[in-house]
Amino acid sequence: MAGLDARWLRDLAKLPPHERKHRASTLLAPVLRRPMIAAYLRSPVQLVALGINFEQRDRLLHTEDTDMISFFIEHAGRVAATHIETNWFAWLFIAGHYNHERPDAVPPYLRKDRYERSFKAPTRVRFHNANLFDILARAEKQTWSHYTLCDAPDWLNPHLQRRLLDEIHRTSRDGGIVLVRSVEDQTMVEKLQDHKRFQLIKDRSAIASLEDRSRQYRRVHFYRIVH
Protein backbone atom coordinates (compact mmCIF):
# COMPACT_ATOMS: atom_id res chain seq x y z
CA MET A 1 0.00 0.00 0.00
CA ALA A 2 2.92 2.34 0.65
CA GLY A 3 4.99 1.16 -2.31
CA LEU A 4 7.96 0.16 -0.18
CA ASP A 5 10.44 -2.36 -1.56
CA ALA A 6 14.16 -3.01 -2.00
CA ARG A 7 14.51 -0.22 -4.57
CA TRP A 8 12.94 2.26 -2.16
CA LEU A 9 15.38 1.17 0.56
CA ARG A 10 18.38 1.65 -1.75
CA ASP A 11 17.18 5.13 -2.73
CA LEU A 12 16.54 5.95 0.92
CA ALA A 13 20.07 4.88 1.88
CA LYS A 14 21.53 7.61 -0.37
CA LEU A 15 20.00 10.38 1.77
CA PRO A 16 21.36 11.92 4.99
CA PRO A 17 19.90 10.41 8.19
CA HIS A 18 17.59 13.34 8.98
CA GLU A 19 16.14 13.25 5.45
CA ARG A 20 15.65 9.49 5.62
CA LYS A 21 13.70 9.89 8.86
CA HIS A 22 11.53 12.66 7.41
CA ARG A 23 10.82 10.78 4.18
CA ALA A 24 9.86 7.54 5.93
CA SER A 25 7.58 9.29 8.42
CA THR A 26 5.94 11.43 5.74
CA LEU A 27 5.30 8.45 3.48
CA LEU A 28 3.95 6.13 6.16
CA ALA A 29 1.82 8.58 8.15
CA PRO A 30 -1.16 8.78 5.73
CA VAL A 31 -1.08 5.00 5.17
CA LEU A 32 -0.99 4.06 8.85
CA ARG A 33 -3.70 6.58 9.69
CA ARG A 34 -6.23 5.05 7.30
CA PRO A 35 -9.18 3.88 9.44
CA MET A 36 -8.84 0.18 8.62
CA ILE A 37 -5.04 0.13 9.08
CA ALA A 38 -5.21 2.19 12.28
CA ALA A 39 -7.81 -0.15 13.75
CA TYR A 40 -5.63 -3.14 12.90
CA LEU A 41 -2.52 -1.62 14.48
CA ARG A 42 -4.42 -0.76 17.66
CA SER A 43 -5.96 -4.21 18.00
CA PRO A 44 -4.87 -6.54 20.82
CA VAL A 45 -4.06 -9.26 18.27
CA GLN A 46 -1.57 -7.04 16.46
CA LEU A 47 0.03 -5.88 19.70
CA VAL A 48 0.58 -9.47 20.80
CA ALA A 49 1.96 -10.37 17.35
CA LEU A 50 4.51 -7.57 17.71
CA GLY A 51 5.45 -8.70 21.20
CA ILE A 52 3.91 -5.64 22.86
CA ASN A 53 2.01 -6.58 25.99
CA PHE A 54 -0.76 -4.36 27.33
CA GLU A 55 1.17 -3.05 30.33
CA GLN A 56 3.96 -2.04 27.97
CA ARG A 57 1.47 -0.26 25.70
CA ASP A 58 -0.13 1.64 28.56
CA ARG A 59 3.19 2.73 30.02
CA LEU A 60 4.45 3.72 26.58
CA LEU A 61 1.44 5.88 25.84
CA HIS A 62 1.63 7.50 29.26
CA THR A 63 5.37 8.28 29.30
CA GLU A 64 5.62 9.49 25.70
CA ASP A 65 2.20 11.22 25.61
CA THR A 66 1.31 9.71 22.26
CA ASP A 67 -1.00 7.22 20.57
CA MET A 68 -0.04 3.89 19.01
CA ILE A 69 -0.21 5.11 15.41
CA SER A 70 2.02 8.10 16.12
CA PHE A 71 4.40 5.76 17.94
CA PHE A 72 4.63 3.42 14.92
CA ILE A 73 5.29 6.37 12.60
CA GLU A 74 7.98 7.75 14.88
CA HIS A 75 9.54 4.31 15.22
CA ALA A 76 9.70 3.90 11.44
CA GLY A 77 11.51 7.23 11.25
CA ARG A 78 14.05 6.11 13.85
CA VAL A 79 14.75 2.92 11.90
CA ALA A 80 15.13 4.90 8.66
CA ALA A 81 17.81 7.05 10.28
CA THR A 82 20.05 4.02 10.86
CA HIS A 83 22.61 2.69 8.37
CA ILE A 84 19.95 1.37 6.01
CA GLU A 85 22.27 -0.50 3.64
CA THR A 86 23.31 -2.91 6.39
CA ASN A 87 20.21 -2.85 8.59
CA TRP A 88 18.91 -6.38 8.14
CA PHE A 89 15.97 -5.63 10.44
CA ALA A 90 14.72 -2.91 8.07
CA TRP A 91 15.37 -4.99 4.94
CA LEU A 92 13.52 -8.03 6.19
CA PHE A 93 10.60 -5.90 7.39
CA ILE A 94 10.29 -3.77 4.23
CA ALA A 95 11.64 -5.91 1.37
CA GLY A 96 11.02 -9.37 2.83
CA HIS A 97 14.66 -10.36 2.34
CA TYR A 98 18.17 -9.23 3.23
CA ASN A 99 20.42 -6.95 1.18
CA HIS A 100 22.55 -9.69 -0.30
CA GLU A 101 24.62 -7.18 -2.25
CA ARG A 102 26.57 -6.62 0.98
CA PRO A 103 27.89 -9.47 3.13
CA ASP A 104 27.71 -7.28 6.25
CA ALA A 105 23.98 -6.71 5.64
CA VAL A 106 23.16 -10.28 6.64
CA PRO A 107 22.96 -11.32 10.32
CA PRO A 108 26.33 -12.74 11.41
CA TYR A 109 24.98 -16.22 12.15
CA LEU A 110 23.72 -16.51 8.54
CA ARG A 111 26.97 -15.44 6.88
CA LYS A 112 28.55 -18.25 4.90
CA ASP A 113 31.80 -18.53 6.85
CA ARG A 114 30.05 -18.62 10.23
CA TYR A 115 27.26 -20.85 9.05
CA GLU A 116 29.75 -23.45 7.80
CA ARG A 117 31.87 -23.11 10.94
CA SER A 118 28.82 -23.70 13.17
CA PHE A 119 28.49 -27.26 11.90
CA LYS A 120 31.99 -28.02 13.16
CA ALA A 121 31.44 -26.44 16.57
CA PRO A 122 31.09 -28.67 19.65
CA THR A 123 28.17 -26.62 20.96
CA ARG A 124 24.99 -28.53 21.76
CA VAL A 125 21.66 -26.73 21.42
CA ARG A 126 18.50 -27.60 23.34
CA PHE A 127 15.14 -25.86 23.27
CA HIS A 128 12.81 -25.73 26.26
CA ASN A 129 9.10 -25.05 25.83
CA ALA A 130 8.67 -24.18 29.49
CA ASN A 131 8.58 -21.39 32.04
CA LEU A 132 11.94 -19.66 32.37
CA PHE A 133 11.88 -19.81 36.16
CA ASP A 134 11.23 -23.57 36.08
CA ILE A 135 14.24 -24.11 33.80
CA LEU A 136 16.48 -22.02 36.04
CA ALA A 137 15.24 -23.72 39.22
CA ARG A 138 16.16 -27.17 37.87
CA ALA A 139 19.67 -26.11 36.88
CA GLU A 140 22.77 -26.75 38.97
CA LYS A 141 25.33 -24.14 39.93
CA GLN A 142 27.76 -23.04 37.21
CA THR A 143 25.53 -24.43 34.46
CA TRP A 144 25.69 -21.57 31.95
CA SER A 145 28.12 -18.87 30.86
CA HIS A 146 25.85 -16.67 28.73
CA TYR A 147 22.32 -15.33 29.14
CA THR A 148 20.29 -13.24 26.68
CA LEU A 149 17.20 -11.36 27.85
CA CYS A 150 14.91 -9.26 25.69
CA ASP A 151 12.44 -6.80 27.17
CA ALA A 152 10.16 -9.34 28.89
CA PRO A 153 11.84 -8.71 32.30
CA ASP A 154 10.86 -5.02 31.98
CA TRP A 155 7.28 -6.04 32.71
CA LEU A 156 8.02 -8.24 35.72
CA ASN A 157 7.39 -6.77 39.14
CA PRO A 158 10.48 -5.97 41.29
CA HIS A 159 10.13 -9.20 43.26
CA LEU A 160 10.26 -11.34 40.10
CA GLN A 161 13.07 -9.25 38.65
CA ARG A 162 15.10 -9.88 41.80
CA ARG A 163 14.27 -13.58 41.64
CA LEU A 164 15.39 -13.73 38.01
CA LEU A 165 18.74 -12.08 38.77
CA ASP A 166 19.23 -14.36 41.78
CA GLU A 167 18.65 -17.45 39.66
CA ILE A 168 20.93 -16.22 36.89
CA HIS A 169 23.66 -15.55 39.42
CA ARG A 170 23.19 -18.95 41.08
CA THR A 171 23.32 -20.92 37.82
CA SER A 172 26.11 -18.92 36.17
CA ARG A 173 29.83 -19.42 35.90
CA ASP A 174 32.12 -16.75 37.26
CA GLY A 175 32.84 -14.19 34.54
CA GLY A 176 29.74 -15.13 32.58
CA ILE A 177 27.92 -12.57 30.44
CA VAL A 178 24.31 -11.37 30.58
CA LEU A 179 22.92 -9.43 27.62
CA VAL A 180 19.92 -7.34 28.68
CA ARG A 181 17.77 -5.47 26.18
CA SER A 182 15.39 -2.97 27.75
CA VAL A 183 12.78 -0.64 26.28
CA GLU A 184 13.03 1.50 29.41
CA ASP A 185 15.58 4.08 30.49
CA GLN A 186 16.99 1.69 33.11
CA THR A 187 17.56 -2.04 32.98
CA MET A 188 16.43 -4.17 35.90
CA VAL A 189 20.05 -4.37 37.09
CA GLU A 190 20.07 -0.59 37.41
CA LYS A 191 16.64 -0.43 39.02
CA LEU A 192 17.61 -3.00 41.65
CA GLN A 193 21.14 -1.56 42.02
CA ASP A 194 22.67 -5.01 41.66
CA HIS A 195 25.99 -3.73 40.30
CA LYS A 196 28.22 -5.81 42.57
CA ARG A 197 27.05 -9.10 41.07
CA PHE A 198 26.38 -7.75 37.57
CA GLN A 199 29.07 -5.33 36.42
CA LEU A 200 28.31 -3.23 33.35
CA ILE A 201 30.73 -3.60 30.43
CA LYS A 202 30.52 0.08 29.53
CA ASP A 203 32.22 0.34 26.14
CA ARG A 204 30.50 -2.67 24.62
CA SER A 205 27.13 -1.62 26.04
CA ALA A 206 27.44 1.93 24.70
CA ILE A 207 28.16 0.63 21.19
CA ALA A 208 25.38 -1.97 21.35
CA SER A 209 22.80 0.60 22.49
CA LEU A 210 23.87 3.01 19.76
CA GLU A 211 23.82 0.39 17.00
CA ASP A 212 20.53 -1.32 17.83
CA ARG A 213 19.10 -1.82 14.34
CA SER A 214 15.53 -2.33 15.46
CA ARG A 215 15.44 0.95 17.43
CA GLN A 216 13.11 -0.87 19.82
CA TYR A 217 15.46 -0.82 22.79
CA ARG A 218 16.70 2.14 24.79
CA ARG A 219 19.36 0.07 26.53
CA VAL A 220 21.36 -2.88 25.19
CA HIS A 221 23.67 -3.72 28.07
CA PHE A 222 26.29 -6.37 28.63
CA TYR A 223 26.98 -7.37 32.24
CA ARG A 224 29.80 -9.50 33.55
CA ILE A 225 28.76 -11.84 36.36
CA VAL A 226 30.88 -11.72 39.51
CA HIS A 227 30.79 -14.33 42.29
Task: Give the integer Cα–Cα distance in Å for 10 and 14.
Answer: 7
In this structure, what DSSP letter does residue 213 have?
Answer: S
- pLDDT tens-digit map of 30-84: 999 999 999 988 888 888 887 777 887 887 787 777 888 998 899 899 999 999 9
**Alpha-carbon distances of 68 from 39, 43, 81, 129, rounded to whole Å:** 10, 10, 20, 31
Burial of 151 (0-12, 13-18, 19+ CB in 10 A): buried
User: Mean pLDDT highest for which of 55-59, 64-68, 114-118, 197-201?
Assistant: 197-201
Query: What is the value of pTM for the model shown?
Result: 0.84
The answer to whether 225 touches 175, Cβ cutoff 8 Å, is yes
For the chain, the structural domain boundaries read 6-109, 126-225
126-225 CATH, one of 3.30.870.10, 3.90.550.10, 3.40.50.150, 3.40.50.970? 3.40.50.150
In this structure, what DSSP letter does residue 3 have?
Answer: -
**Residue 193 pLDDT more than 80?**
yes
CA 163 to chain centre: 23
Residues paired with 225 in a beta bridge: 198
